[in-house]
Structure 1
């Protein structure tokens, strides 16, 4: 995880070349990073802060530009700290990298997993490219979450973008003469509400050609400019093809499933999902370096953990925790971070026999039950249930920073979800609990696992049940699932990244591994969920039944039956002041 920032400022031509400016151009020097922006970038990457200044000189006395690249580093790959930005002084090429290359998808059947520092290996590949097609081929081959800015000074071209599923944040702000790219905004309570930051779409690779007359204008037939978008895939799309994020075609086969299509423990898709998820997790939980040593409030070394799970106790996150157990050495602990909030609106309606408002939260109840099941299934693992209790006063105190980190997202639903993720990543209880977590101790883990993506891939939302039962069976359900997975890159992962990374941690999404997603897209819908067979029993409810059966195969029958619950309701961050506020309302 890193924080990246880049500014490209064009110089303005003048008629008088004797004024001391190169090539007869003038420009306003790029201002230093604001204190707010410097702090937010450094919180994402506390291990290193680096900057590189560069320039561009157009041909034949054309436009010139000043460029400044900034990177902060959270060191999680390689044998030690690798400073950023990456720079090749002899050519002026520069790379700001925020992400993980798990594999380079090579030609044919060759697939390369990346050992060592992934950013350095990516930069080495980019430096060998002599033209845009070469750069695109390298970037399209990346498997993993990322945002990046790459400056190829010899060609005067600047590339930037987010991965095809939008798992890392990148914002942009532009004028006719400047382009600014950043992991986070510089919005503050005192700044203007119309601050023109926008989220970079995860729909392709963007290239700015500084040789063009209008490099920051998008290319179009009626107003040619210098900014071009390239799709994540160069595959030809025929009318009717359901191509998702350049990963593959969604299986829209809606013929009636075979008579024996009921999902069971022996179904091929159950075994395949377990294999796919194990391969994805192996990349994300093994070889994580030890975090910096920490000391608890009493001066003694605190328990060092490398991996923590954002843990509501639901199906998705508990399966990840259970499978992580099979991949880590026996002496490594795993933290289960569970958040609960004091919600004044809910507290006012609680019955008098409730003695602990946090333990009464739905996700706390589910979390403790699933924690107990993990202990029974994996008694040798050092699990720790990190109960994060957040008083209402503390929620209010942190609200301005959460709103700023969410930007440009700005609805009440964004705030409810962002608040839960913000305090989960901080992982500190504020109520003085001392049994399983201390009021002064956060988890040492720098890698957080999230179960996000399972509902979209395997049919876990209520609207999927409605699509099948009311709108037309598996054909309607397939259309609804296609809609969900196709818009993953356009939804809220950038917001989540900005909020979670604020505490110097990296969230990883095993269900959103490119190969797992590609496999899930190709499955017929009845091999994922089982709405044609609604009988309960040990199979659990039909939504996400393929994953429920994986949980059952892992020895967790109670987890296999858990129902879906949105984080803002499970942790009680939704509608803290009034039950009449709509999720789509703008944050005041």
Structure 2
């Protein structure tokens, strides 16, 4: 994880103090706490200031930006999980730059980025052509924003924006539709920036150019007059890293309609589906590809022996977690946790981050509230982080945080403990009061959610920010103790609902337009996931100096799920708790999970109760007034 930025001035004039805005620099440094530096490149007609801030996770610490003897400069915020060889001791930033520096033509650049499996965003200055290349991976799993100056004399690319009111509304997410190139020399001379697009090309789509043209028109609408966008002259494309969606409507060997829509959502009824050999085979293939995806994401980081101490008891009890999971106890997070347990060293704890927003106290709660006795701290978070943190006092007050996700989370913890009682499972209860929500939204979260601005973005952005911060309480020796997660990698289940018909809108679509309509809805879900979810979540989680990783969006997992027909993934004639994400529920059953396999989908904003904190009458799609950014 890194904070990357490139600020370009298309003029020969430059102020001596031409530095990045202090708020932007601060936001970038929070993403990359292990190394920060800047590089200035000056052409005859332009100036480029590159700023890199590194969160060190694997290989040798490689400060960014990196520069070679020919003047090329590279910024990389990504992870190569497969597709290009990276040895354990190597750093993928250096590997990518070595390839780019050796290339002589654009086709080689296309081939390189087509090969990378994993999340990425990058900025590359190619000195010989006076060009800046940049872009995001196919799903947009890493944030990259752009804004163009009002005067038309420059632009900025960055992982995260700034809260300065005079420019915040100009930040927009770089579309994850391919990679872009800007010729800085010609842009400076013509006073017009031309964005050359090298789009993703799906093998099955013959009308790729027509589709790209439609995308270009949508992008152009949000650009200022002195910026235009066009497809590169050579019509070069990136190869889409996943298989196309299977839209066949045949039922195959498994007769979905032999099951009544009125059957109860029970484990026994779910087990019936595993009697079908074809279905069971597909379930085991899903377990295999998803397990490999989780394995890559929990092992691609440096583990040091310094976490150990001498005696055997302390060795286990004092070991720090490297991996955390956004954990509701629902089917997605339970499957990820059980698979992570397979691959993370047995004596390493796993942090399960469970967020709850304080419900309104009842009269009974107010009357019976008791003072608390001092608690032993496992770790002492910084004073800034614990200011306003809700402190559990007794069982009565604790009920104010007994939101649905807290209850299912505790139940899920019991299941995981039964699967592996030797593992230390740190169930981190993150309790958020209204006062702290409002304070941290204004202080940090609003500028991270931007440029997204809906009520839904506010709810999910705040919930994910508090959860991934990892400051809360764990139960140890029957006592609640203050705890701060040390994990730099945060696994999240996003992508499961989008591919396996997990949302309520999927049932609505199925009921009104049948399987064909449902297929179109699922195709749209993946097409828009970069702009709807992933950039925001990357900015929010990265603000804590942590990296979000998305096993369900692993290229091999998506390709496998895309290869299945819709009825092999979900059956929405069946009730909630079985029909949606059917194949994942069956996989969970095969993994040894129990009650969590038939939990119906519950959106994070409702499970954590953040949606009920302030204004109950809002619609999720409305613009959120609470996300307004104030200048300092």
TM-score range normalised by the length of the shorter chain: 0.7 to 0.9
**1:173 alignment partner in structure 2:** 147
Residues 357-368 of structure 1: pairs in structure 2 closer than 5 A: 357-368=399-410
Larger RCO: 1 or 2 (CA < 8 Å, sep 6+):
2
| 1:274–1:550 CA contact under 8 A, matched in 2 | yes
1:585, CA displacement in angstroms?
2.8
Partner residue in 2 for 1:76: 57
Q: 1:437 to 1:210 in 2, by over 3 A?
A: farther
Query: 1:430 Cα shift?
Result: 8.1
| Deviates further, 261-270 or 306-315 | 261-270
2:228 equivalent in structure 1: none
The partner residue of 2:274 within 264, 273, 279 is 264
The alpha-carbon distance between structure 1 residues 409 and 217, as it changes in their structure 2 partners (threshold 3 A), is farther
Q: CA deviation at 1:418?
A: 0.8
Give the direction of change, closer, same or farther, for the CA distance of 1:398–1:128 in structure 2 (3 Å limit): same
4+ aligned runs moved over 4 Å, structure 1: 213-218, 239-246, 259-263, 291-295, 300-303, 346-355, 430-437
Pick closer, same or farther for the CA change 1:358–1:337 going to 2, 3 Å. farther
Asked if the contact 1:281/1:324 (under 8 Å) is kept, the reply is yes
Report the 3-state secondary structure (helix = DSSP H, G, I; strand = E; otherwise coil) of the residue aligned with 1:248. Answer: coil
Partner of 2:7: 7
1:333 pairs with 2:376:
no
Q: State yes or no: 1:515 paired with 2:545.
A: no
Pick aligned residue for 2:18 from 16, 23, 31: 31
After superposition, the CA RMSD in angstroms is 3.1
Q: 1:149 aligns with which of 123, 143, 147?
A: 123
- Give the 5 Å matches for 1:5-404: 5-11=5-11, 25-29=12-16, 31-57=18-44, 64-78=45-59, 80-88=60-68, 90-104=69-83, 112=85, 115=88, 116-175=90-149, 176-188=152-164, 191-192=165-166, 195-213=169-187, 226-233=194-201, 235=203, 237-239=205-207, 247-258=242-253, 260=255, 263-264=273-274, 266=277, 267=279, 268-290=281-303, 303-344=319-360, 355-400=397-442, 401-404=444-447
2:464 match: 421
Q: Tell me how far 1:289 sits from its aligned partner.
A: 1.9
How is 1:562-577 mapped onto 2 (pairs within 5 angstroms)?
562-577=599-614
Aligned residue pair count = 542
Contact in 1 for aligned 2:202/2:240 (Cα 8 Å) = no
Q: Is the 8 A contact 2:251 2:567 kept in 1?
A: no
Q: Secondary structure of 1:212's partner?
A: helix
- 1:326 and 1:181, CA in 2 relative to 1: closer, same or farther beyond 3 A? same
Greater mean alpha carbon deviation, residues 446-455 or residues 327-336? 327-336
- Distance in 2 (alpha carbons) for counterparts of 1:205 and 1:349: 58
Whole-Å Cα distance in 2 between the matches of residues 248 and 428 of structure 1?
A: 39
In structure 2, the partner of 1:467 is: 509
Q: Is the 8 A contact 1:314 1:367 kept in 2?
A: yes
**Per-residue Cα deviation, 1:346-389 (whole angstroms, up to 9, x for no partner):** 86899999652344200000000000001011112111111111
Q: Is the 8 Å Cα contact of residues 474 and 480 (structure 2) preserved in structure 1?
A: no
- Partners of 1:383 and 1:192 in 2: how far apart? 46
Q: CA deviation at 1:305?
A: 0.8
C-alpha displacement of 1:236? 7.2
For the 8 Å contact 2:7–2:157, the answer to whether it is kept is yes
1:465 CA drift (Å): 2.1
CA deviation after TM superposition for structure 1 residue 135, in Å: 1.5
For the structure 1 residues 258 and 216, does the alpha-carbon distance in structure 2 shift closer, same or farther, using more than 3 Å as the test?
farther
User: 1:235–1:287: structure 2 CA closer, same or farther, 3 Å change rule?
Assistant: closer
Contact 1:343–1:576, Cα closer than 8 Å, also in 2:
yes
**Cα-to-partner distance string for 1:199-257 (whole Å, 9 max, x where unaligned):** 11111101001232468988xxxxxx532011123747325999996633211112344
Change (3 A) 1:178 1:535: closer
Match of 1:479 in 2: 520
TM superposition shift of 1:133 = 1.8
Deviates more, 1:350-359 or 1:515-524: 350-359
1:457 aligns with 2:491: no
Deviation of residue 316 (structure 1)?
0.4
Residue 35 of structure 1: CA displacement? 2.5
Unaligned runs of 5+ residues in structure 2 are 213-238, 259-272, 309-314, 369-395, 626-632
* Distance of 1:292 and 1:95 partners within structure 2: 32
Gaps in structure 1 of 5+ consecutive residues: 12-24, 58-63, 106-111, 219-224
How far does the alpha carbon of each residue in 1:522-571 deviate from its partner, in whole angstroms, 9 at most, with x for none? 21111111335x379xxx51111100011000111211111111111111
Relative distance call for 1:526 and 1:374 in structure 2 (3 A) is: same
Task: Work out the CA distance in 1 between the residues paired with 2:346 and 2:538.
Answer: 30
Question: 2: CA distance between counterparts of 1:185 and 1:580?
Answer: 30
- Mapped partners of 1:525, 1:217: distance in 2: 50
Match of 1:405 in 2: 448
Contact 2:52 2:75 in 1 (8 A): yes
- The TM-score with structure 1 as length reference comes to 0.85
Q: 2:304 and 2:175 mapped to 1: Cα distance?
A: 33
Higher helix share: 2
Normalized against structure 2, the TM-score is what? Answer: 0.80
Cα deviation, residue 582, structure 1: 2.2
Q: Is the 8 A contact 1:172 1:181 kept in 2?
A: yes
- Distance in structure 2 (CA, Å) of the matches to 1:214 and 1:135: 24
Q: For residues 103 and 131 of structure 1, do their structure 2 counterparts lie closer, same or farther at Cα, with a shift above 3 Å needed?
A: same
